[in-house]
Amino acid sequence: MSSKQIIVIYASRNNKTIEPIKSVLDVNHNTVFINYKSETFESLFQTYEPSLVMFNDDLINTDMFVECLTKTKMLMGCTSCRLILLINSLSSLENELLIDLVDDYIVSKVPSKLFQKRVDIQLNLSNKDIELQLLQQASKQRVNTKNIELIAALSRAAEFKDNETGNHVCRMSHYCRILAKKVGFNAEQQTLILEAARMHDIGKIAIPDNILFKPGKLDESEWEIMKSHVRIGAEILGDVGDSELLTIAKGIILSHHERWDGTGYPLGLKGAEIPIYGRIAAVADVFDALTTVRPYKKAWAESETLQYLIDNSGSQFDPFLVESFIACFSEIKDIKNRYIDEI
């Protein structure tokens, strides 16, 4: 398919109406002429990839014209294709509705060279639209990549600050990936969840050291400050735009402390209201927290930790995920042994 394809839609069965236009356009352009009653009209943008769709003057006075035009506009969607009226004289433009529906008009009853020139201008405008769209896409992509790099750097900073937990973020994010795989996420989604889970506690960067590293139990006001790491983390990510990775990351940040029975924070979401990524992260996060040394506790044995998951299945955790976690425990164990904390 040519990127400079032109479609001319016309009404008349009489070739004489369309012949003069044909003789000019056929010289330098890849042009298709379609009668508006033909079946092709309905599948216009599936069959062709036009830069210009032109409605011939003989169509303007038919009953179907506005409907035809509106339908074409809808089929065009966000393409860079331009909608042009080919008119014999300016009197064809008396209907003001036409001005809103089309991008421009060309008077076809002019010397062929001038007509040709006007068509080329429209084609150039269409090409410029494509270039602009590509530039916008590339710039959006660059901003996304920069955002992700920035947030990855902040995640690393949060990891350094929270250094008493050693390889927690690394193990926990791998546990998430393994669990996501077990419950049916595809390879691409597994990688996304692994990267996103690394950011789950990014908000801890703003928690004062005396609270974050307190060896004993936190009092009520300290606990409130500790819980704020969820809100702060979401604020650090800010507007995630259309980045899938950051959308998942924000979902995990906001929901990894929710509980299946609705008694978690920050929103007290219940059951399937909690995003699946957050439910996965909750199991992985708690398993790692319990099996490793923390300022306030010793490391629990694996069997003891698995028993904790089972005991809290249906209250703290999604029962299906607990079951799945246990079902892929040999892989979980491999990660646990591979990234042991140096104490």
How much of the chain is helix, strand and coil, in % rounded to 5? 65, 10, 30
Can you give the C-alpha Rg of the chain in angstroms? 31
Q: Does 258 bind Fe ion (CB under 5 A)?
A: no
Least spacing, CB of residue 168 vs Fe ion, in Å: 6
Looking at this protein, which amino acid is placed at residue 32?
A: V
Of 254 and 322, which has the nearer Cβ to Fe ion? 254
Q: For residue 174, give the 3-state DSSP assignment.
A: helix
Q: Does 162 bind Fe ion (CB under 5 A)?
A: no
Of 82 and 250, which has the nearer Cβ to Fe ion? 250
Contact 241, 144 (CB under 8 A): yes
Least spacing, CB of residue 301 vs Fe ion, in Å: 20
Least spacing, CB of residue 79 vs Fe ion, in Å: 45
Q: Does 57 bind Fe ion (CB under 5 A)?
A: no
Of 65 and 287, which has the nearer Cβ to Fe ion? 287
| CA pair distance 336, 175, nearest whole angstrom | 9
Looking at this protein, which amino acid is placed at residue 325?
A: F
Of 118 and 204, which has the nearer Cβ to Fe ion? 204
Binding mask 183-202 for Fe ion (x = CB under 5 A): ------------------x-
Lateral strand order in the sheet of 30-35: 30-35, 5-10, 50-56, 82-87, 104-107
Residues 277, 278, 281, 286, Cα dihedral to 10°: -160
Taking contact as CB under 5 A, which single stretch among the options 1-9, 135-143, 216-224, 279-287 is the one that binds Fe ion?
279-287
How far from each other are the two terminal CA atoms of the chain, in whole angstroms?
Answer: 64
Burial of 219: CB neighbours in 10 Å, binned 0-12, 13-18, 19+: exposed
Q: Which two tokens stand for residue 332?
A: 């979980």
Of 7 and 254, which has the nearer Cβ to Fe ion? 254
Q: Which residues are catalytic?
A: 204
- Evaluated on CA atoms 200, 204, 205, 206, the torsion sign reads positive
CA 116 to chain centre: 42
Contact 152, 198 (CB under 8 A): yes
Footprint on residues 113-132 left by Fe ion (CB under 5 A): none
Looking at this protein, which amino acid is placed at residue 206?
A: A
Of 29 and 256, which has the nearer Cβ to Fe ion? 256
Peptide bond into 111 cis (omega under 30): no
Of 285 and 318, which has the nearer Cβ to Fe ion? 285
| CA pair distance 172, 86, nearest whole angstrom | 64
| CA pair distance 104, 108, nearest whole angstrom | 13
Q: Pick from 58, 159, 258, 285: which binds Fe ion (CB under 5 A)?
A: 285
| CA pair distance 290, 308, nearest whole angstrom | 9
Taking contact as CB under 5 A, which single stretch among the options 76-84, 239-247, 259-267, 282-290 is the one that binds Fe ion?
282-290
Taking contact as CB under 5 A, which single stretch among the options 122-130, 272-280, 285-293, 318-326 is the one that binds Fe ion?
285-293
Q: How many residues bind Fe ion (CB under 5 A)?
A: 2
Least spacing, CB of residue 194 vs Fe ion, in Å: 14
Least spacing, CB of residue 232 vs Fe ion, in Å: 11
Q: Does 318 bind Fe ion (CB under 5 A)?
A: no
Least spacing, CB of residue 158 vs Fe ion, in Å: 10
Q: Does 159 bind Fe ion (CB under 5 A)?
A: no
Taking contact as CB under 5 A, which single stretch among the options 112-120, 212-220, 283-291, 335-343 is the one that binds Fe ion?
283-291
Least spacing, CB of residue 294 vs Fe ion, in Å: 10
* Contact set with Fe ion (CB under 5 A): 201, 285
